[in-house]
């Protein structure tokens, strides 16, 4: 079974060009027949030029839209919602399309981050029969006000994380965005580190705001000090999305002088309902080990392909750090158009290439087993 790679969907894809949907489709990396970013979820950018509209449609129980840039409105069978920078809204099963219209935006067009669970429906071979929650809107002002309130609360010890968990009234037990989707608007203060943690859900992380030298380290194992062994470093680029594989330890680092913000989207609503999320924080695990205890786990990394990550160089905004692996990203490149018949003066054709950050293991030869 193909592992889930560390890949990046860069913001350059939605910062220019025509009105269009820009899918973060890596189904070929995962050996899955239908479009997906993870086995259960599909993530895309939606670019809408000022004064234009575009329709989106998915066979999904849950759809979430976060406004990266711009103001406008979305109309559907559920009604019309107006949105602006930093707003987020979710809709349940929708028979028809959602129509998104941009009123104003920098860079010539609005950008939405769109996530839904159609890949899960495709895998099960089903179509949702009824809605599990009502359309819900989270304004930027409300979310930031909640974070500000938390920042003034008295807590023990040093705080290195300020965030608001986005919950839905229909999900009282899981306390998640929908019964499938989970999200947290998370801030990391300047000059701080969020120590490693891990969970079984795949994270599709949107870097909302970050200065240079803000990044995430990811790896399969931790050492006796709780540091990630042989980590992959993924730098945050505002408006870009990166994948955090399931079960991997990951820590967030802000070496800049400004607060950084990230919006992870996960299928953790489903995992929480199944009691299989198994989220762990490194310092808790170290304390257990010191006490001679080892927790039971609902997950173990057994796929050998995870253990054979290759050294690779990617286009990232900051200098390489010695001893850390880099990720490949989604790259827009110019290639000769086959229809140009070798004419050097002909305009180049722009294409987007994606390359996984792992190499496939050679096929194992069959061997006989002595009785």
Write out the CATH class of domain 7-337+347-353. Answer: mainly beta
Strand 328-329 relative to strand 7-9: parallel, antiparallel, unpaired? parallel
Mean pLDDT calculated for residue range 177-203:
94
* Residue 170 clears pLDDT 50, i.e. is over it: yes
Q: Which of 36, 17, 34 is nearest to 26 (CA)?
A: 36
Q: What's residue 311's pLDDT?
A: 26
For residue 61, give both structure tokens. Answer: 């129980």
* Residue 13 clears pLDDT 50, i.e. is over it: yes
Rounded distance between C-alpha atoms, residue 19 and residue 48, angstroms: 5
Task: Specify whether the CB–CB gap between 30 and 356 falls below 8 A.
Answer: no
Query: Which residue has better confidence, 52 or 346?
Result: 52
- What phi and psi, each to the nearest 5 degrees, are found at residue 62? -140, 135
Q: Give the ranges where 241-323 is alpha helix by DSSP (H).
A: 268-274, 282-290
**Cα three-residue angle 243-177-82, rounded to 5 degrees:** 100
Residue 356's pLDDT band, with cuts at 50, 70 and 90, is very low
Q: What's residue 321's pLDDT?
A: 45
Give the bridge partners for 252, in sequence order: 194, 216
* Residue 27 clears pLDDT 70, i.e. is over it: yes
Query: Mean pLDDT for the chain?
Result: 83
Task: Specify whether the CB–CB gap between 42 and 116 falls below 8 A.
Answer: yes
* Residue 317 clears pLDDT 50, i.e. is over it: no
- The pTM for the full model equals 0.80
Q: What's residue 345's pLDDT?
A: 74
Q: What is the pLDDT of residues 102-150, one digit of tens each?
A: 999 999 999 999 999 999 999 999 999 999 999 999 999 999 888 777 6
For residue 73, give both structure tokens. Answer: 């409105």
* Residue 157 clears pLDDT 70, i.e. is over it: no
Q: What's residue 151's pLDDT?
A: 61
Task: Specify whether the CB–CB gap between 236 and 210 falls below 8 A.
Answer: yes
Residue 54's alpha-carbon distances to 11, 84, 239, in angstroms, are 19, 17, 20
Q: What's residue 195's pLDDT?
A: 92
pLDDT above 90: percentage of residues in the chain: 68
Q: Which of 30, 13, 26, 100 is nearest to 63 (CA)?
A: 100
* Residue 316 clears pLDDT 80, i.e. is over it: no
Rounded distance between C-alpha atoms, residue 270 and residue 259, angstroms: 31
Q: Compute the chain's Rg from CA coordinates.
A: 21
Task: Specify whether the CB–CB gap between 214 and 256 falls below 8 A.
Answer: yes
Mapped onto helix, strand or coil, the DSSP state of residue 289 is helix
Mean pLDDT calculated for residue range 269-279:
92
Q: Which has the minimum average pLDDT: 8-17, 80-89, 162-171? A: 162-171
Q: What's residue 152's pLDDT?
A: 54
Rounded distance between C-alpha atoms, residue 101 and residue 104, angstroms: 10
* Residue 314 clears pLDDT 70, i.e. is over it: no
Give the bridge partners for 183, in sequence order: 265
Rounded distance between C-alpha atoms, residue 206 and residue 13, angstroms: 14
For residue 279, give both structure tokens. Answer: 């989220």
* Residue 14 clears pLDDT 70, i.e. is over it: yes
Query: Which residue has better confidence, 232 or 163?
Result: 232
Mean pLDDT calculated for residue range 314-326:
40
Q: What's residue 299's pLDDT?
A: 40
Rounded distance between C-alpha atoms, residue 133 and residue 117, angstroms: 15
Any idea where the domains of the chain sit in the sequence? 7-337+347-353
């Amino acid at each position: 079974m193909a592992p889930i790679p560390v890949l990046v969907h860069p913001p350059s894809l939605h910062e220019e060009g025509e009105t269009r949907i820009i899918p973060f489709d890596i189904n070929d990396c995962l050996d899955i027949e239908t479009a997906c970013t993870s086995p259960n979820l599909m993530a895309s950018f939606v670019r809408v030029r000022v004064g234009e509209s575009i329709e989106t449609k998915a066979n999904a129980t849950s759809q979430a839209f976060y406004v990266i840039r711009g103001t406008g409105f979305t109309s559907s069978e559920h009604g019309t919602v107006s949105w602006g920078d930093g707003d987020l809204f979710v809709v349940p099963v929708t028979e028809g399309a959602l129509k998104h219209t941009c009123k104003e935006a920098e860079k010539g067009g609005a950008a939405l981050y769109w996530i839904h669970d159609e890949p899960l429906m495709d895998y099960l071979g089903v179509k949702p029969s009824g809605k599990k929650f009502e359309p819900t809107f989270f304004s930027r002002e409300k979310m930031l006000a909640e974070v500000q309130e938390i920042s003034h609360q008295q807590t023990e010890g040093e705080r290195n994380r300020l965030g608001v968990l986005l919950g839905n009234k229909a999900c009282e037990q899981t306390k998640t965005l929908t019964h499938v989707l989970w999200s947290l608007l998370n801030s990391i203060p300047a000059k701080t580190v969020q120590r490693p943690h891990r969970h079984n859900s795949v994270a599709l992380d949107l870097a909302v705001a970050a200065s240079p030298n803000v990044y995430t380290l990811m790896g399969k194992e931790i050492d006796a000090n709780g540091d990630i062994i042989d980590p992959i470093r993924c730098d945050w680029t505002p408006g870009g999305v990166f994948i955090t594989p399931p079960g991997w330890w990951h820590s967030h680092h802000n070496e800049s002088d400004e607060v950084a913000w990230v919006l992870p989207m996960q299928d953790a609503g489903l995992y929480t309902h199944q009691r299989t999320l198994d989220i762990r924080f490194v310092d808790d695990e170290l304390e257990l080990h010191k006490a001679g205890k080892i927790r039971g786990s609902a997950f173990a990394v057994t796929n050998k392909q995870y253990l054979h990550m290759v050294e690779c160089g990617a286009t990232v905004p900051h200098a390489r750090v010695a001893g850390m692996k880099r990720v490949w990203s989604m790259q827009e490149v110019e290639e000769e158009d086959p229809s140009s018949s070798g004419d050097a003066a002909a305009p180049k054709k722009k294409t987007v290439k994606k390359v996984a950050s792992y190499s496939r293991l050679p096929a194992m030869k069959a061997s006989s087993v002595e009785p």
